Amino acid sequence: MTLRFTNTLTRRVEPFEPLVAGRVGIYCCGVTVYDLCHLGHARSYINWDVLRRYLVWRGYAVTFVQNFTDIDDKILNRAAAEGSSMEAVSERNIEAFHTDMDALNILRADRMPRATRCLDGIRTLIQELEAKGAAYCADGDVYFAVMKQQGYGKLSGRDLAEQQQGASGRTATAEEARKRHPFDFALWKRAKPGEPSFDSPWGAGRPGWHIECSAMVRQELGDTIDIHLGGADLIFPHHENEIAQSEAATGQPLARTWLHNGMVNVDGEKMSKSLGNFTTIRDLLASGVSPMTLRLFVLQAHYRKPLDFTTEALDAAATGWQGLNSALELIAGSGSAPSTRAAITPQPQGAPALPAELSTARERFIAAMDDDLNTAAATAVLFELARPLRALANRIERGDGAAAEQRQTPAMARRAALLQELAGVLGLKGEANAPAARTAAAAEGFSETEINALIDQRRAAKAAKDFANADQIRARLLAAGIELIDKPGGLTDWLRR
RNA sequence: GGCGGCAUGGCCAAGUGGUAAGGCAGAGGAUUGCAAAUCCUUUACCCCCAGUUCGAAUCUGGGUGCCGCCUCCA
């Protein structure tokens, strides 16, 4: 079984072979930092984080580069609207990006270049394109000449000759008039009065959107990289244009493999700012959805398919995560397995002989992930591994002494270690959440002392065989979201539901 | 209009030629004063039509429906 990916460039599933054996260079298109990240970003970066973790686990030396677009009309508009500066808006949102991504357990990229700090590379690239006749300057703007580039449209499956007809109605604006072809795009934009600008051979201005990625890829990873990542909505024009620029300049393929993730939909439509149907990551987390629930929700679907975001589906993921989590926390509680909460590490060479069931589980996990990152099938393996552990954890929680003993058996320990290792490859880590749940319950109307008092009342009622009264107390607390759990020895515990 | 993708049980979602993973929800039983947890059992002819094949959810053709891109977008 070999690792295979669906390459957007060839539209087929093909075996993955890095340019240099054992090393993988990855470039992931980042965000334009004019606002907070929403669930679409979360989905994309969770998927690519798993790709990265998996490659590392399989023993590749991965260099992962992700950019920030920190100059753009939207950032300037935002800065103008709030009376601050481009830098202030960018800095704030870069910080927010890190906070949100860290919360989702997404590993930080090895290098995170910013457009405003790569201007030398950008200017050099544009000059090379100009020298080769692939770019032209028009009134302070510089455009890429798509007609000069053989194969333009190969990524998105577009044919320039056919596309021209459909574009005939769009040449009215002043900018369109300066272009030689409607698909020509800006490499450098002349500065408008009052806007931040940078010097260049073509006058003061700033880089176009697409050129920064071409320059950063080259600067950080070289002319040809192994994998280029992004959302499906970037295929055209962004990635098409990146390819055109880079390949016109270097004469080399920009990336061997192009991977694109599907969109997050709401009510069947793409989540986007313009439709106003987006939820930010921090809003979702603030609403009480755990980061790992979101992660599981994303990973239970295949990365290329659209993912419909509904509260029902998210609730299902939350319940599913509780099960996995209790299995993972059982491990953490036993202190017998090594923690994989830090960065992912390669799987041990010459893995120890495992019992047949576990060894099969591990193979199924690898086969699923090798098959174009089939995380949905991979999570199924996790659930199957977790089932006995989860059952054990629940019995321990409810006071079953025999269950506590079983936790220590070698069979359970091996199963637990494997579960934790594979969960770590997917970036899933145990969350201890009981204390927070109690605080929330107490805030909802019943103080902890009141709850304890009611439990005492109920115990007395039970002793007097007054079950009607006992059940009434249970119902009363349940209505407030507090569940009573009777344990052996006449003890009663409670949980926030 | 052009390009690309998707249609699997109540919901989500794997499965690319040999009689359908997994999660959520549901049902029956054991157990429990009740509840919870646990254990056992259980719920799909894979959008429609035609074709290829010994055999198709899986391949081919046609149809229907939905989505994305073609303008900034993960």
**Which domains, from first to last, does chain A contain?**
4-266 (3.40.50.620), 310-425 (1.20.120.640), 434-496 (no CATH)
Pairing of strands A205-207, A185-190: antiparallel
Q: How far is the CA of A117 from the C1' of B9 (A)?
A: 54
What is the pLDDT tens value at each position of chain A, 497 positions in all? 689 999 999 988 899 999 999 999 999 999 999 999 999 999 999 999 999 999 999 999 999 999 999 999 999 999 999 999 999 999 999 999 999 999 999 999 999 999 999 999 999 999 999 999 999 999 999 999 999 999 999 999 888 877 654 444 444 577 778 899 989 999 999 999 989 999 999 999 999 999 999 999 999 999 999 999 999 999 999 999 999 999 999 999 999 999 999 999 998 889 988 788 999 999 999 998 999 999 999 999 999 999 999 988 999 999 999 999 999 988 766 544 444 444 678 877 655 678 888 999 999 999 999 999 999 999 999 999 999 999 998 888 777 777 888 888 888 889 999 999 999 999 999 987 544 444 454 556 788 888 889 999 999 999 899 999 998 998 888 877 788 888 777 788 887 66
User: Residue A482, SS3?
Assistant: strand
What residue has its CA nearest to the C1' of B12?
A313
Q: Which residue in this structure is represented by tokens 């926030």?
A: A496
Query: What is the C-alpha separation between A212 and A238, in angstroms, rounded?
Result: 11
What residue has its CA nearest to the C1' of B13?
A301
Which nucleotide lies nearest residue A209, CA to C1'? Answer: B72
Neighbours of A73 (CB within 10 A): 14
Query: What is the C-alpha separation between A184 and A448, in angstroms, rounded?
Result: 67
Q: Which two tokens stand for residue A204?
A: 């003061």
Taking CA atoms, A132 is separated from A127, A241, A242, A343, A437, in Å, by 9, 16, 16, 44, 64
Q: How far is the CA of A382 from the C1' of B19 (A)?
A: 27
User: Residue A194, SS3?
Assistant: coil
Q: How far is the CA of A368 from the C1' of B53 (A)?
A: 29
**A295 close to A284: Cβ distance less than 8 angstroms:** no
What is the C-alpha R_g of chain A? 27
Q: How far is the CA of A281 from the C1' of B70 (A)?
A: 29
Which nucleotide lies nearest residue A470, CA to C1'? Answer: B34
Q: Which two tokens stand for residue A209?
A: 């959107």
- Which residue, among A350, A303, A235, has the nearest Cα to A54 in the 3D structure? A303
Which chain B positions come under 7 Å from a protein C-beta? 1-6, 11-16, 21-25, 32-39, 66-74
Q: What is the ipTM of this complex?
A: 0.94
Tell me the helices (H) and strands (E) count for chain A, helix number first: 18, 15
- Which residue, among A191, A177, A182, A181, has the nearest Cα to A141 in the 3D structure? A191
Q: How far is the CA of A157 from the C1' of B67 (A)?
A: 18
Query: What is the C-alpha separation between A373 and A377, in angstroms, rounded?
Result: 9
**A321 close to A293: Cβ distance less than 8 angstroms:** yes
Which nucleotide lies nearest residue A319, CA to C1'? Answer: B24
Q: What count of Cα atoms within 13 Å lies in the side-chain half-sphere of residue A269?
A: 7
Q: How far is the CA of A366 from the C1' of B14 (A)?
A: 15
Written as one letter, the residue type at A417 is: A
